[in-house]
Amino acid sequence: MVRAILLGSGYVGTYLAVGLERIKKGAVAKYGIPLSKYDLPYRVEDIEIVAAYDVDLEKVGKSLYDLGRNIFGEDYDVPETLKKVVVREGINLGSTQGLPFRTTGLEKKYPLKEAIDKLIEEWINLKPDVIVNVITTEEGTAYSSKDEAVDKILRGDAPATHVYAYAAAEYAKRTGRGVTFVNAIPTPVANNPGLLQLFEESGAVVFGDDGATGATPLTADLLEHMAERNRFVEFVVQFNIGGNTDFLALTDPGRNKMKETTKSSMVKDILGYDAPHYIRPTGYLEPLGDKKYVAMHMEWISFNGFRDSLFISARINDSPALAGMLVDLIRLGKIAVDKKLSGTVYEVNAFFMKKPGPLNSKNIAKTHAYRQLLHWLGLA
374-380, Cβ contacts within 8 angstroms, sequence gap of 24 or more: 374/38, 375/347, 376/345, 376/347, 376/348, 377/35, 377/38, 377/40, 377/335, 379/38
Q: Write out the binding residues for a copy of itself, residues 237-266 only, by CB under 8 A.
A: 237, 239, 241
Q: Which of 114, 230, 274, 375 binds a copy of itself (CB under 8 A)?
A: 230
Q: What's the closest the beta carbon of residue 301 comes to a copy of itself, in angstroms?
A: 5
Q: What's the closest the beta carbon of residue 133 comes to a copy of itself, in angstroms?
A: 18
**CB–CB of 379/332 below 8 Å?**
no
Q: What are the CA-CA distances from residue 244 to residues 8, 56, 278 (Å)?
A: 14, 15, 22
**CB–CB of 290/11 below 8 Å?**
yes
Question: How far is 141 from 75, CA to CA, in rounded Å?
Answer: 43
In this complex, which beta carbon is closest to a copy of itself, that of residue 153 or of residue 369?
369
Q: What's the closest the beta carbon of residue 129 comes to a copy of itself, in angstroms?
A: 21
Question: How far is 104 from 92, CA to CA, in rounded Å?
Answer: 7
Q: Is residue 303 packed enough to be buried (19+ CB in 10 Å), middle (13-18) or exposed (0-12)?
A: exposed
Contact range with a copy of itself by CB under 8 A, out of 90-98, 188-196, 263-271, 318-326: 318-326
Q: Write out the binding residues for a copy of itself, residues 354-373 only, by CB under 8 A.
A: 365-368, 370-371
Question: How far is 137 from 156, CA to CA, in rounded Å?
Answer: 18
Tell whether residue 273 is a contact of a copy of itself (CB under 8 A): no
In this complex, which beta carbon is closest to a copy of itself, that of residue 9 or of residue 197?
9
Tell whether residue 350 is a contact of a copy of itself (CB under 8 A): no
Q: What's the closest the beta carbon of residue 213 comes to a copy of itself, in angstroms?
A: 9
CA atoms within 13 A on the CB side of 176: 0
Question: How far is 183 from 139, CA to CA, in rounded Å?
Answer: 14
One-letter identity of residue 67: L
**CB–CB of 163/38 below 8 Å?**
no
Q: What's the closest the beta carbon of residue 190 comes to a copy of itself, in angstroms?
A: 21
The count of residues interacting with a copy of itself (CB under 8 A) is 75
Q: Which of 124, 285, 364, 377 binds a copy of itself (CB under 8 A)?
A: 285
In this complex, which beta carbon is closest to a copy of itself, that of residue 44 or of residue 167?
44
Q: Write out the binding residues for a copy of itself, residues 2-61 only, by CB under 8 A.
A: 15, 18-19, 22, 28-37
Q: What's the closest the beta carbon of residue 27 comes to a copy of itself, in angstroms?
A: 9
Q: What's the closest the beta carbon of residue 249 comes to a copy of itself, in angstroms?
A: 16
In this complex, which beta carbon is closest to a copy of itself, that of residue 169 or of residue 215?
215
